[in-house]
Structure 1
Amino acid sequence: MIAELQKWQGRTETLQDDITAAPVRALAATLDRDDPLPVPGTVLPPLWHWLYFLPHHRHSEIGPDGHGKRGGFLPPVPLPRRMWAGGRLQWHAPLRLGDSVQRTSRIESVSHKSGRTGDLVFVGVKHEITNAQGLAISEEHDIVYRAAAQPGDPAPPPATAPHAAVWSREIVLGDLLLFRYSALTFNGHRIHYDRRYVTGVEGYPGLIVHGPLIATLLVDLLRRQVPDAVLRTFNFKAVRPTFDLHPFRVNGRPSADGKTIDLWACDHEGWLTMQATATLN
């Protein structure tokens, strides 16, 4: 299987888009921010580029999990569970409202591992986003595919979240928050909104909070504490699923010079769910 999937390594895709105001206004409302209305030239906040270059599969091209059917740009991994596992981003120049932008994506790697609950396939994708001035964002995106849940599968041991938070904010979840973020990112993945599917088919206890949403909330915490922050890099890794059944917390701790920020999310029991590091210009 893996040798066939590795034939996708090196495959590229190029998409065009425009940085428009409506998604920016909508995400600000979803995150409960009181931002000034965006106007042409407004700098796009970090990670909000995920509002653009959205998948536009025709309805007949959607698979049973709500994603586009496999075998297009991404390899046709036969494992049913797909998750955004993390990423590494670098900002070279700002994107602004009104920019015409291009994203070139390349399959960098396809690898296989055997975990305690079965096979895992990791796909690494590199994105480069440019505007008229040149390269603006470099991004490495990690996707993991997993086998279906089986009765008696061992649960991975949880990790305790750090206790030395300087900043902390509770995020109260609900179907509406997940629905709005799915709508904004045109994300049809049913684990985020279809409770019967996520519990009955994929075997999770509740709706799963989007990894990119948690990452965005971590950066949003930083922006609330340091409003003039300009990010240079942001690295994040999903450690444990976050479910909509309870509130969770986003936390931060700046270094002594304020240029490096440790960020993490934890669930209602204090288990680490996402860890991240941001560096500022």
Structure 2
Amino acid sequence: MADDFSAWIGKQETRHDRFDPARSNALLVALGTPGSAKDGDPVPLLHHWLYFWDVQPPAALGNDGHPAKGGFLPPVPLPRRMWAGGRLRFEAPLRFGEATEKRSTILNIETKQGRSGTLVFVTLEHRLSGSAGLAVIEQQDLVYRAASSETPPLPVPLSAVPPCAAHRVISPDPVLLLRYSALTMNGHRIHYDRPYAMAEEAYPALVVHGPLQATLLAGLIEDHAGAPLKSFEFRGVSPAFDGIDLRICAAPADTGFTAWTQQGEARNMVATATV
């Protein structure tokens, strides 16, 4: 790929939002837990992804439901865009009711050759600040790739719980995926439009959001540790699909905790955290 996106490195944008607890409570209820947060309470880990919507009119959307290329992100001429992983450091709690600023910077753009062809990696940094100052520093990894006609097989559901210190199971059905898409204003059709996901992007079912899996992992680690997280890092390994129980697992490690999601023998997302 001959495109040079170096001019995009260092580009910034700033967004503002108020952390309304209703949005976070809606996600908690959708996951089967009480939603009783109120103004002044700390925002649950990674629930900041429910805010700072980038709402675009129909004419500014691509066929996949994402905002059309260009704007803040570089116009990479590859049709598939995925959130591959990220790293977060928690400096202070964000609180509901606060006016919050999110300052985003494009840190790096790199082209690589993978088994499936050309890949373009875009690394973003997001700095979230509330009334007490800087609260979260996040690096987000996006990957652009060519379209594929090869459909991955559905995983064979696990019959036993993987060995781990903490464990939870959710059933990612289309209703949950639609709710999470709506709460994050994520229009990517692979999460709620089954004909599109199967015919256009060659998936065998609807795809479970990576950020939803990361949110569940961070929450499980924090509950098991009994202490706030200082850092959290996650990486997608293989897609997770609707209709198959998703197991969320965590275990102590040398420097903190390791965690993962799993539907079949292969893991879907892996994560590490410190407290």
Structure 2 Cα separation of the partners of residues 114 and 143 of structure 1 = 15
Q: Which residue of the other structure, out of 238, 244, 247, is the alignment partner of 2:245?
A: 247
Change in Cα spacing, 1:83 to 1:52, as seen in structure 2 (3 Å) is same
Q: d(CA) in 1 for partners of 2:108 and 2:90?
A: 22
Tell me the TM-score normalised to structure 2 length.
Answer: 0.92
Structure 1 outlier segments of 4+, above 4 Å: none
Deviations 1:25-57 (A, max 9, x none): 10110121125x222210001101111111111
Give the equivalent residue in structure 1 for 2:179.
Answer: 180
Local SS of the residue matching 1:209? coil
Cα distance in 1, alignment partners of residues 172 and 162 from structure 2: 22
Distance 1:54 1:70 in 2: 17
Residues 10/28 of structure 1: CA separation in 2 closer, same or farther (3 Å cut): same
* 2:157 alignment partner in structure 1: none
Superposition deviation, residue 272 in structure 1: 1.0
Provide structure 1 residue ranges, at least 5 long, that are not aligned to the other structure. 156-161
Q: Following the alignment from structure 1 to structure 2, what is the Cα–Cα distance between the partners of residues 2 and 243?
A: 35
Supply the distance in 2 between the matched residues of 1:185 and 1:229 (Cα, whole angstroms).
27
- Following superposition of structure 1 onto structure 2, how do residues 121-270 of structure 1 map, counting pairs within 5 Å? 121-150=120-149, 163-226=162-225, 228-255=226-253, 260-267=256-263, 269-270=264-265
Aligned 8 A contact 1:178 1:193 in 2: yes
1:4 partner SS: coil
Flag the 1:120–1:43 CA change in 2: closer, same or farther, 3 A.
same
Distance of 1:94 and 1:224 partners within structure 2: 16
Q: Alignment partner of 2:230: what SS?
A: strand
Amino acid at match of 1:60: A
Question: Is the CA contact 1:2–1:111 (under 8 Å) kept in the aligned structure 2?
Answer: no
The answer as to whether partners of 1:117 and 1:154 remain within 8 angstroms in 2 is: no
Match of residue 115 from structure 2: 116
- Structure 1 residues 22 and 163: CA distance shift in structure 2, 3 A: closer
Structure 2 equivalent of residue 107 of structure 1: 106
Deviation of 1:208 (Å): 0.7
The structural deviation recorded for 1:3 is 4.3
Contact 2:152 2:203 in 1 (8 A): no
How many residue pairs are counted as aligned between the two chains? 268
Amino acid at match of 1:24: S
Which range moves more in the overlay, 96-105 or 165-174?
165-174
Alignment-mate amino acid for residue 272 of structure 2: T
Determine the C-alpha separation between the residues in 2 that align with 1:137 and 1:184: 20
Q: Residues 138-183 of structure 1: CA distance to partner in whole angstroms, max 9, x if unpaired?
A: 00000011110035x999xxxxxx9541112222121001001001
Contact 1:167-1:251 within 8 A present in 2 as well: yes
Distance 1:60 1:221, change over 3 A: same
- The 8 Å contact of residues 167 and 250 in structure 2, kept in 1 or not, is answered as yes
One-letter code aligned to 2:235 = K
Runs of 5+ consecutive residues of structure 2 not aligned to the other structure: 154-160
Q: Secondary structure at the match of 2:4?
A: helix
Partner of 1:159: none
Cross-structure match for 1:276? 271
How far apart in 2 are the matches of 1:102 and 1:2? 36
- The AA in structure 2 aligned to 1:265 is T
Q: Does the alignment pair 1:19 with 2:19?
A: yes
Distance 1:41 1:260 in 2: 29
Question: Could you tell me how far 1:204 is from its partner in structure 2?
Answer: 1.0
The letter for the 1-side match of 2:57 is R
Tell me by how many angstroms 1:73 deviates: 0.3
- AA matched with 1:272: R
Q: Secondary structure at the match of 1:207?
A: coil
Q: Check conservation: 1:168, 1:249, Cα contact below 8 A.
A: yes
RMSD, matched Cα: 1.9
| CA distance in structure 1 between the aligned counterparts of 2:12 and 2:227, rounded to whole angstroms | 33
Q: Which amino acid aligns with 2:13?
A: E
